[in-house]
Amino acid sequence: MELYEVMARKGVQGPSTSLKCDEDGSYAGMQCSGNVCRCYDKYLNIIGGLTKTGCQCSRDIWMNDQLNIAAGISCEVDSGSYAEVQTRSTYAFCVDEDGVRAGPLVHETVAENLACGAARLCQEGEDINCDKVCIGCTRDDYVN
């Protein structure tokens, strides 16, 4: 809003939409017009569909594509946010909103047993009972 105020004081009309920026001055990943939000790259090109939850996953996929990195990231359907459970090869794990692993690696066959809310609490040190991260899992279900 500061830019709008400076422009108004100089008699210049600002852009018709309010754009959000990242700390480095580039465009923020999620831009909204009214109640419709989409995911954008740092140059304001659309990289993801409609979203209400964020664009970190779409942004990370875009960045990996720019760098020719095949990371196998999974986003939520119709969202720019990370899918709560990520899989790599034959194992699975929970991630937080930034795509950072939260909790242990388990074999993909028990991925549906992961309790990602508990995993995030355990990671943040808010829950001392971290045994409930994989419900019904045995020691053999965890990846060494």
Give the rounded percent of residues in the chain with a pLDDT score beyond 70: 93
Given the DSSP bridges, would you call strands 101-107 and 30-33 parallel, antiparallel or unpaired? Answer: unpaired
pLDDT band of residue 8 (cuts 50, 70, 90) is confident
For residue 101, the 8-state DSSP code is E
The verdict on pTM exceeding 0.85 is: no
Dump pLDDT digits (tens) for 63-103. Answer: 999 999 988 899 988 788 999 999 998 999 999 989 999 98
Backbone angles phi, psi at 15, to 5 degrees: -60, 155
CB burial string 67-97: b at 16+ within 10 A, e below? eeeeeebbbeeebbbbbbbbeeeebbbbbbe
Q: pLDDT at position 111, please?
A: 95
Question: Is the pLDDT at 116 greater than 80, yes or no?
Answer: yes
